[in-house]
Amino acid sequence: MSEDSAGTEARRAELLLLSGPNLDELGVRDLAVYGRSTLADHVNRVSALADAQGLVVRHRQSNFEGDLIEAVHAARETALAIIINAGALSHTSWALADALATFPGIKVEVHLSNPAAREPYRHVSTLAGVVNGTVAGFGALSYDLALTAVVALLA
């Protein structure tokens, strides 16, 4: 491989896919709300779809708010976009919103369920004001739609 082609490969556009608390329980937790697909299923599907668009997906899941914040900070140096399903932190974490506000690229918030159709505390997103948009309520398709938005916004 020549130096030029190695450099091009190293510069492939990166997409950070962030998954918040309890998303590691997808496929076993509240199947009526979240469906049977596991987090690995979602990550694998997004990765394959992104690869077809020339994007490399780096995934990070954590049940700890600080880990997600650090991942956002690190992404400023490597990623062009972030797709984030912050789970319950979407409704409570001003710190995560502040971190996302410092990320200069595209940011899309994802929810498998429709928070507006659920408990009142889920109706507010602390992230909504710092992301380009939110995709919610379409189950697994929410991730696909978020990736479609990222690709369109990068074009």
Q: Which of 42, 59, 111, 143 is catalytic?
A: 111
Compute the residue count for the chain: 155
Measured CA to CA, the distance from residue 140 to residue 133 in angstroms comes to: 17
Q: To the nearest whole percent, how much of the chain has pLDDT over 90?
A: 77
Q: Between these two residues, 82 and 120, which has the higher pLDDT value? A: 82
CA distances from 50 to 18, 36, 72, 133, 150 (A): 15, 22, 19, 18, 10
Nearest to 139 by CA among 59, 63, 42: 42
Lowest mean pLDDT among 52-66, 114-128, 136-150: 114-128
pTM attached to this predicted model: 0.89
What is the per-residue pLDDT for 16? 98
Domains of the chain listed by start with CATH number: 3-154 (3.40.50.9100)
Measured CA to CA, the distance from residue 46 to residue 57 in angstroms comes to: 8
Q: How many CA atoms lie within 13 A of 132 on its CB side?
A: 19
Task: Tell me, yes or no, if 42 is annotated catalytic.
Answer: no
Q: Which of 34, 42, 59, 143 is catalytic?
A: 34
What one-character DSSP code corresponds to residue 118? S
Task: Tell me, yes or no, if 111 is annotated catalytic.
Answer: yes
Residue 147 pLDDT grade (very low, low, confident, very high; cuts 50, 70, 90): very high
Q: What is the dihedral of CA 122, 125, 131, 134, to 10 degrees?
A: 30
